[in-house]
Amino acid sequence: MKKVLIALILLSATVATAAPSKHWDLHDYKTFKKGKSKGAIIPSTGGLKAGLSFTKAKTKDKLPGLFYTQLKWRNRYFLGSGDPAQIWVWQNDKIKILHTFKEDIIITDMIRGSGNTIIAAAIPSGRIYSITTDGKSKLIAKLPVKHIWSLYRKGSTLYAGTGPKGQLFQININTGKFKSIWKSKENNILVVTAGLQNSLLLGTDSKARVYNYSLSSKKTSLIYDFSGNEIRDIAVKNQNIYVIVNKLKYKANTSYSSQKTNKSDNRKTKKAVMKATPRKHFSRRKVVQGSGWLYLINDKGFAEKMLESSKGYLTSLKVIGNEAYVADGKSGRIIKIENKFFEAAIMFESEERQILDFELDKNGNGLLVTGDSAGCYSVSRKPGKKPVQYESQVFDTGHRASFGKIIYGVENGKVKIFTRSGPTAEPDDKYWNKWKKLRGVNSLPSGQLTGQTSNKAARYFQYKVTWPTGGKAYLKFLKIFFDTENLRPRILTVKIEDQKAKISGNEEKSDSLIPNKLKHTPHKLKFSWTILNRDKDKLIYKLHVQKVGDRSWRTLPTKKPITKNHHYWIIDFIPEGIYKLKVIASDGISNPPGKELSSHKISRQFTVDNSAPQLSSLRISKNGQVSFGVRDTFSRITAVSFRVDQKDWQMLLPNDQIFDSLREKLNFKLEKQKKGSHILQIRIKDAAGNIGSFSQEFTE
């Protein structure tokens, strides 16, 4: 059903780097959408344009919690509010209270009545009122429902979409008599509007369906079943049906939340040109989460996606000519989408995050109302009293930086660019530089413009663009250059793992078992390290090893430079001994000669052991008693097993029952064998994965 709180768009910037100089390359939609617009248009094709001027209405009355709906009447607008339920009137950028409804919470919809009357619906009383333009009110009807979401009038007959049982009511305005003419079997009918060929279009939740109710046959047919949980608004233009679909999930308790969500369907739709994502820096108040879409259903019943808000909500819809305008409930924006190629542009952005309803005419003049908190703005394409302005997001260089020139492209007029910098992620007048205009702006041979910034060295940076009153310039792109001091890369830890991999088979957790099937693979050591690279330079690593007792380090040769933070060293033919590893990290590839920096770290000692353990003093007595010793030069003995002839291998433990040294002694007794000659086989494994195999013939 309709929601008091709804949500939509926002955005991110593109950062480009080039060594040794760095710059931000700002040109496409994603570049600009995180900024704050005051009259600037942000097209999906990129750049910035001068857009709607705006004026926030003033009042001497106490503002309500939100303005939910509005209605234009000649040179005045009537606003329906919530918390409390009131009707306000706007004229000449001033608003005042016209009437207060003490038994209700929100005015959900308003339409024109006959003469000088307005018809308004309210919740949660289920009342429908008639109000004169000078503020006199009377009750038309009280429906047996809690929520009336949408009204449509045809002559003296009124149609109301209600909840929470999803009924469509027909009301006689003159007598107040009413009846339920259709039950949707859904939670709410959120939208009732004129359809095609003497019909009504109905939008529902929780199944997000659009129905057609014929006023002639009194029959209902399903037009489209969307993947979502509410139809928020519907508009009809030139045989096309425009539909706002939301899929909402509430974080806060509210009596207006939907309860069910449709499973995603498999319909193929045209990909929207612009995807909207939410802004991050709003108030901490809990609001709904989810997704929103604008669809166009053509005369053949095919639905195309015009706009997608992946983590936001669309609230209101208007179609003017070949363009659709939608408002959002999370970033305070109005977005324009043309219906041929679905190119979109952010047209307006309010101080409040929820635009809940708006009106625009073909000349771009109109009014919008907001929630969280209540606000009312008049908008116009005519030059306003204040210049159009765009303020960028805050850019982070990573650490202290010096800022150079800005190169930018502009068409059809002029703009002014200001910059500032500071040490904090949020601009602060106490610590940040003041806004300063670019110095020495001049033209390049390419026709582009360039100017010098005047900011002190700092970590954070921001720019602002202003258009003169009535200006129509199109700012196509900016390149902002900066330079940071080179920071030394630091190796924090070095880890060495012995990739034994000398055997394969179903090895048990205990290292006292040796698998039956053996397959040799290269013996490798894996060197890995962690790095602190604060300026994100590209790094090259060099590895050196030193055998304990030697004076010099030996470079490990590699086929190509090491750029990842790990390396494998095959040690099958490396001289045995105790070694150390030195890892050197250098940012020379990202900095000019003389400015490169490096650091190194030396590992703990590790063992290179390629020799199999040895067996000694093997004795087999006449009564089957076997004794022998095992030893290894560098690695602990970890397993010993034996078998007679081709029988299964059996594990053995040393005399002290623990494999914990380079030398071990073992004794065991053979089972009684058949008379004749037999072969005793013994295998020994060390901690480096080396295996020694031995055999001895004996006679029973």
Say if residue 468 is in the same domain as residue 511: no
Question: Residue 692: pLDDT band by 50, 70, 90 thresholds?
Answer: confident
pLDDT of residue 385: 62
Token duo for residue 614: 């040895």
Among the ranges given (18-32, 86-100, 113-127), the one the predictor scored with the smallest mean pLDDT: 18-32
Model pLDDT for residues 577-627, shown as the tens digit of each residue? 899 999 999 999 888 888 899 999 999 999 888 788 999 999 999 888 999
| 361, 500: one domain | no
Is the pLDDT score of 330 beyond 90?
no
**Within a domain: 16:** no
Predicted confidence (pLDDT) at residue 274 exceeds the cutoff of 60? no
Write the pLDDT tens digit of every residue in 179-213: 999 999 999 999 999 998 899 999 999 899 999 99
Per-residue pLDDT averaged across 546-573, rounded? 91
* 432 within domain boundaries: yes
Residue with the larger pLDDT of the pair 470 and 464: 464
Would you state the pLDDT for residue 510?
43
pLDDT score recorded for residue 516: 55
By the 8 A CB rule, do 8 and 317 touch?
A: no
Evaluate whether residue 526 is within a structural domain.
Answer: yes
13 in a structural domain:
no
Alpha carbons 581 and 563: distance in angstroms, whole number: 17
Beta bridge partners of 601: 583
- The distance of Cα 264 from the centroid of its chain, to the nearest Å, equals 20
End-to-end CA distance of the chain: 92
Q: Which residues sit opposite 474 in a β-bridge?
A: 49, 411
Model pLDDT for residues 156-178, shown as the tens digit of each residue: 999 999 999 999 999 999 999 99
CATH number at residue 687: 2.60.40.650
- Give the model confidence (pLDDT) of 632-654 as tens digits: 988 899 999 999 998 889 999 99
**Do residues 508 and 474 both lie within one domain?**
no
Is residue 509 pLDDT above 90, yes or no? no
Which of 51-60, 247-256, 524-533, 548-557 has the least mean pLDDT?
A: 247-256
> Above 90 in pLDDT, residue 21?
no
Report residue 286's pLDDT band, with 50, 70 and 90 as the boundaries: very low
Residue 519: the pLDDT is 59
Q: Are residues 272 and 177 in the same domain?
A: yes
**Does residue 691 fall inside a structural domain?**
yes
Q: Model's pTM, two decimal places? A: 0.66
By C-alpha distance, which of 568, 570, 576 is closest to 612? 576
Q: Does residue 207 lie in a domain region?
A: yes
What is the Cα–Cα distance from 127 to 229, expressed in whole angstroms? 26
Q: How far is CA 619 from CA 538, 622, 675, in A?
A: 62, 10, 19
Same domain, yes or no: 495 and 478: no
Q: Regarding predicted confidence, which is higher, 518 or 376?
A: 376
* Residue 373 CB neighbour total at 10 angstroms: 15
The reply to whether 445 and 546 lie within a common domain is no
Residue 138 lies in a domain: yes
Residue 258 has pLDDT above 60, yes or no: no
* 28 lies in some domain: no
Structure confidence at residue 277 (pLDDT): 37
Same domain for 49 and 138, yes or no, is yes
Which of 556, 575, 608 represents a domain boundary (last residue)?
608
Q: Tell which of 579, 608, 637 closes a domain.
A: 608
Which domain covers residue 198, as residue numbers? 40-380
Write the CATH number for 604.
Answer: 2.60.40.10
Given a cut of 50, whether residue 480 has pLDDT beyond it is yes
Q: Verify that 443 and 501 share a domain, yes or no.
A: no
Q: Residue 363, exposed/middle/buried by CB under 10 A (0-12, 13-18, 19+)? A: exposed
Residue 20 banded pLDDT, cuts 50, 70, 90: low
Residue scoring higher pLDDT (91 or 9): 91
Contact residues for 610 (Cβ-Cβ < 8 A; gap 6+): 523, 571, 572, 573, 574, 576, 688, 690
Task: Please write the tens of the pLDDT for every residue from 402-434.
Answer: 999 999 999 999 999 999 999 999 998 889 999
Percent of the chain with pLDDT over 70: 88
Confidence of residue 111 (pLDDT cuts 50, 70, 90): very high
pLDDT of residue 283: 32
Say which CATH number the domain at 173 has. Answer: 2.130.10.10
- 287, 304: one domain: yes
Which range, of 61-70, 431-440, 587-596, averages the lowest pLDDT? 587-596
pLDDT tier at 515, thresholds 50, 70, 90: low
Confidence of residue 340 (pLDDT cuts 50, 70, 90): confident
Beta bridge mates, 615: 630
The residue-averaged pLDDT of 441-451 equals: 94
pLDDT, residue 287, reads 43
Last residue of a domain, one of 608, 640, 662: 608
Maximum Cα interatomic distance, the chain, rounded to a whole number of Å = 124
**For the chain, what is the domain count?**
4
Q: Give the chain's mean pLDDT.
A: 86
Name which residue leads in pLDDT, 379 or 272: 379
Residues near 41 by beta carbon (within 8 Å), at least 6 away in sequence: 48, 49, 50, 51, 52, 345, 346, 347
pLDDT digits (tens, 9 = 90+) for 352-377: 878 999 999 888 889 999 987 899 99
More confident residue, 122 or 686: 122
Same domain, 294 and 202: yes
Query: Which own/partner pairs from 498-507 qualify as long-range (CB within 8 Å, at least 24 positions apart)?
Result: 498/525, 498/526, 498/606, 498/687, 498/688, 498/689, 499/523, 499/524, 499/525, 499/526, 499/568, 500/688, 500/689, 501/689, 502/689, 502/690, 502/691, 503/685, 503/689, 503/691
Q: Which of 2-6, 325-329, 542-546 has the highest mean pLDDT?
A: 542-546
**Cβ within 8 Å of residue 604, ≥6 positions away:** 494, 496, 580
Query: Are 404 and 511 within one domain?
Result: no
Domain co-membership, 512 together with 468: no
